[in-house]
Amino acid sequence: MLANTFDPSLPDWHVGYGGTDGNGNPIYPYTDYLLVKMGASGNVQWQRCYGGSNDEVANDLLITSDGGYLLVGSSGSNNDGDVTGHHGQAFKRDYWIVKTNASGDIQWQKSYGSDAGHEYAYSAQETTDGGYVVAGTTDHDHQDVGGFIGSTDYWVIKLDNSGNLTWQKCLGGSDGDYASSIVQADDGGYVVVGSSRSHDVHVTGHHGNWGDITGGTSDLWAVKLNATGTGIEWQRSLGGVADEHAACIRKTADGGFIIAGDALSSGGDVSGIHSTSSSDAWVVKLSAAGEIEWQKCLGGTFTEQSFSLEVTSDGGYVIAGATMSNDGDVTGNNSQQYDWGGYGFDGWIVRLNATGDVQWQKCLGGNTGEQMHYVAQTDDGFVAVGRTDSNDGDVYGNHGSWDYWVVKLGPETTGIAALDQEVSVEVYPNPAKGSVTISNVPRGATVAISDLAGKTVYRSVIRDEQATINTADLVAGVYMVRIEKNGAVASRKLLIGE
């Protein structure tokens, strides 16, 4: 599995991987967490492995507010190497959470789970109180796990800043429920998403058939917990009669939520699917109360998957996934076409505006197969992370079989180059404190400043070629300055100091 993140506020790329040995090579059967620090040009600056004598698989990575890293996933090692506190015998899976400093040195590590079952952590977020919330799955009720319902449950745990467990919650019904992503809401509560085959206990409104872990169909299931984890405020089963899943949730500037996953249904909550025999990528916008505001199916005749989604500086979205199509919303698939008409998987990046309309899409890969698991906006384009089995097309330097693959994309082609060729916008001082000056702005251009969550904190039409903006009320951090005129756009990064 691949876990990764990028912080556009930093000049370097930070990528976390699971499934390699101490030299960064894939190994079988046992794997470690691998954390790689890359420079802005893609050069490896350092790498660290974490684990024990059995399997460790990382699924998510955070850059924490102190500049360190938090890796979450699962461990099967029985209290050796870097792993302590493991529950049960070797190969039994626990949540394994590792906190490092900025250099990758372990500051603390924690194992959470039960001795008779398996726990897999898939998502984490740093919380407003300085702690962390982690979501994944459990299939047993003992030790750290309480309130287990049946088959497989969502399992949410809340940690303090030192990694100590403050509360935990099982969510779901009597059948299979699998959490994939969690986010903290504006009111301090938490929304966790994944898929559910249940129709009872916490789950209502299931659209399809239901059955045990191997039967029935799954809905995308979103559930809102209060800030203390003691109660459910709302839950939504989203989908149709076939299978829908959520891969990723992010908070939007209006206090709502954006979810990326996949859909196979036609009907129910799903409209616009390209084929009912293969899944589309599916994007769903929810209000703060969990109501659907809009949804979009993205893809072609064959299979599409979305693995992650991020909010962009203009309030739009960028999705990382994979595609086997070369029609519909998809063009430029580099993979081999087969006799049945479909292609191999290419990595797929899709840029949406704030209402879910496709602005552009990009297939990335070679003849064999790729998936893009994460994409983030930087001040000069985008960076995508995934895996590749090719050594042609867009891919070079493959070491054999599946490699991890990092791709830097240039600025968006729609409008950005045109305005940057016409003017040389300057933003100074940068970092700024009480005010910032933006010069060489075309008369009549709109200047907007947004934080990294996409929330616009300043917007105005500039009548002169220079404007000084009061930034005294802005919280220290990273912002994006967007200058737009007649459809042409230029973007600059702005740092606000303390």
| Type of residue found at 56 | E
Say how far apart CA 471 and CA 232 lie, in whole Å.
Answer: 39
Q: For residues 268-282, give the mean pLDDT.
A: 96
Task: Provide mean pLDDT across the span 246-270.
Answer: 97
Residue 194 has pLDDT above 50, yes or no: yes
Query: Which CATH number, 1.10.8.10, 3.40.50.1370, 2.130.10.10, 2.40.50.180, labels domain 2-412?
Result: 2.130.10.10
Predicted confidence (pLDDT) at residue 17 exceeds the cutoff of 90: no
pLDDT number for residue 481: 87
**d(C-alpha 52, C-alpha 208), whole Å:** 42
- Mean pLDDT across 411-423: 51
Q: Is it the case that residue 418 has pLDDT exceeding 60?
A: no
Quote the mean pLDDT of the chain: 88
Q: Does the pLDDT value for residue 309 go beyond 50? A: yes
What is the per-residue pLDDT for 477? 86
In the prediction, which pLDDT does 91 show? 84
Enumerate the domain spans of the chain.
Answer: 2-412, 417-496
Q: In what order do the strands lie in the sheet with 280-286?
A: 244-251, 257-263, 280-286, 292-298
In this structure, are residues 420 and 413 in contact, taking their beta carbons and an 8 Å threshold?
no
Which residue's structure tokens are 């970092």?
431
Among 297, 357, 312, 302, residue whose Cα is nearest residue 333? 302
Q: Longest C-alpha distance within the chain, in Å?
A: 70
pLDDT for residue 153? 98
Could you give the count of Cα atoms lying within 13 Å of 412 in the half-sphere of its Cβ? 28
pTM, two decimal places: 0.80
Mean pLDDT confidence for 277-283: 97
pLDDT (tens digit per residue) in 156-180: 999 999 999 999 999 999 999 999 9
Task: Quickly name the fold that domain 417-496 has.
Answer: Immunoglobulin-like (2.60.40)
**Is residue 319 scored above 50 in pLDDT?**
yes
Mean pLDDT of 51-69: 95
What pLDDT, on the 0 to 100 scale, is given for residue 146? Answer: 96
Q: CA–CA separation, 219 vs 198, rounded Å?
A: 9
pLDDT the model gives residue 478: 84
